[in-house]
Structure 1
Amino acid sequence: MTIVVTGATGSIGRHLVRQLTDAGADVRAMVRDERAGAALGCPYAVGDFDRPETLAAAFAGADRLLLNSAGAIPTTGPQPMVRQQKDALDAASAAGITRVVKISALGARPGAKLSLGAHAEIEAHLTASDMEWSLLRPTGFMQNFFTGQGGTTVTGDIVGPYGDGRVAYVDAADVAACAAALLTGGKGAGEAYTVSGPEALTHGEIAALLTAALGRPVAYRDVPAAERAAELTAQGLPAAFVADLVELWAEMAAGAQREVTTAVRDLTGREARTFAAFLRDAAA
């Protein structure tokens, strides 16, 4: 059984490729650049979501697919991820792939803001296909606090309008482990899983954990949404995108991402990693 992993160099993909390889699975990473593929240390194929003609060769002879790609910030028009992933699903079906595990997002629903509506549209395309499917809908990644996507600034503080809202951030490696279980086993067909960490933390509590792990002060500065939105707009982000962010921030502050689930334990047989454990290893 051959498993193709798209997004193989990303936060989830690089963990998944390593986990599948260590387990002895027949894995093929799809990459846009040969040098990136060679660095993964596993078989790879060159393919590009923006060049659908490359997908047939990348998927040829495969049985299962991990579908994952990053959403872009559209300046005009629809989210390009919709077109990209729909084309990939059509190519997968044509190639004879029988099962797809899609990385979606918590809160995916028709008409939702940012990439959440896009994920919902892709989910509908997948569930209407002739392939078996499973959906993973993770919360925000713990890794985001080291990439700037968690609201961290260049000084290392966390800045945002999150208030006391709690978020059950998850380690991307745990999401990868859930995907590995679904791709190598028989369970989970036709199921959607919300994947969270084992605790829901405020951003103030996360700042305290970062302080302890990094050995330097990290503060959480709560700022009004309008102030933060003005800063991002001044940095060049499209106004419509920032307006959608404001709605997302309000949902986070209200606790929309606080649910703690057992998906990691249910799929992998072990508990999800705590934020403190993740930070200890990241700091090292």
Structure 2
Amino acid sequence: MNVTLRQLRVFQAVVAARNFSRAGDAVGLTQPAVSRCIRELEGQLGLQLLNRTTREVAPTEAGRSLAAQLDRLLDEMELALLDVQGMASVRRGKVRVASSPTLSANLMPACIARCAELHPDIQLVLLDRVQLDVLGSVRAGEVDFGVVIDPSAPDDLHCETILREPFCLVCRSDHPLARRKSLPWRALSGQKLVLLDHASGSRRLIDQALADQQAEVDVVQELGHPTTVFRMVEAGIGITVLPALALTDAELQGRALSVCRLTPHIDRRIMLVHRKHRALAPMVALVWQLVAAVAAQVPAGI
């Protein structure tokens, strides 16, 4: 059955006017167009809905039954359509975003502050989780979108790169590799490394870079947060490789640490992700664009 909203509106007008021409005037159609709509509707239902005479058009029993329910049904449909249409202009509510600890600490605070400034009726709710859990939350629909580091096998996700940043060496200021502007990855061979663990989105990229550059290292500690990594490096347990975004002034202030870029430059990509084939609600799309805009203003790094 392929009954259209237009056919139902025309039928409603004919029942009210008891005349095809007057019904046409009410809905903005010609008399022949009104007649055609009614014939098509009757054809779809397999029932005669109207008795036509030279003096009047009157509903049949089936027509009266349909007309009795149609006003309420069409009113409810119109309200539903207006409600959905109104979503396009909604600027009030919560948008839930998940991100991994480094991004939560060094990117998302600026995003939350900017959202509060530009869109005070939108609450950006942050879930601070390791990357694997961020991706799980996105896939389960627990959050509207995630901020992650270049996920592997993202076939079921729509991804948009918002920031690229390099990896850097961090060591004590008295370490033999200290105070360089740049250093090749191969220079890390034979060194003891303190690295973020595999829950971090960066670890896979760091391991791949070390392998590709044939740097054979000894990973002596694997930790969950950059602050702990810094403490281990300060204690002389090893050196580390971290993304530039983790090397904020606040983290480095008061620490006797040296930072330099590793060459060749191997960047990690920060991405926004949501479930593929799921359109973002207008309010969520607004926050998505805001996070991308804030990321675009992040300095290039070390």
TM-score (normalised: structure 1): 0.25
More strand by share: 2
User: Larger radius of gyration, structure 1 or 2?
Assistant: 2
